[in-house]
Amino acid sequence: MRVVIQRVSRAKVSSTPHGENCIGAGLLILLGVEEADNADDIDWLVGKISRLRIFPDADGVMNLSVMESAGEIMVISQFTLHASTKKGNRPSYIRAARPETAIPLYELFIEKVKQETGLKVESGWFGAMMQIELVNDGPVTIVIDSKARE
């Protein structure tokens, strides 16, 4: 699994057939699932994200987790995180998991984030065309890959 994590002041995802979901200050997580991913990847990644110290403490130092800062979380599926641009100019998405693999893992990831953090967690809609609005706070943007464990 690959994630792009952005510390946000606020974020909103909308889709014409689905409506919109919003969060205040917290994390926007773009999640890419690949065929080789499983529940172990989810457990490791959710643990890492929930304890990631990227929120300011009283002295303005990035020293608090999203849980310690009582933030909110939004998770959006994004298969394009596994794009390969090695050959030509049209990205290949061959590493991205097919829906029958990706959907259950995406849904499990969201549930595990809720369980681990106890925070408000919103999400997008798997496979839907979505518009995402966000205010990146900092800016703070971090990429984590569960296979590389970094």
Query: Active site includes 79?
Result: yes
> Running DSSP on this structure, what letter comes out for residue 92?
B
Catalytic site residue from 6, 55, 79, 109 = 79
Catalytic site residue from 6, 55, 78, 109 = 78
Distance CA 139, CA 14 (A): 23
Query: Active site includes 80?
Result: yes
Most distant CA atoms of the chain, gap in Å: 49
Query: Active site includes 131?
Result: no
SS3 61: coil
Distance CA 4, CA 29 (A): 6
Distance CA 141, CA 95 (A): 23
Peptide bond into 91 cis (omega under 30): no
Q: What is the DSSP string of 68-86?
A: TTT-EEEEEE-GGGG-B-S
Catalytic site residue from 6, 16, 55, 80 = 80
Q: Which two tokens stand for residue 135?
A: 């205010």
Catalytic residues: 78-80
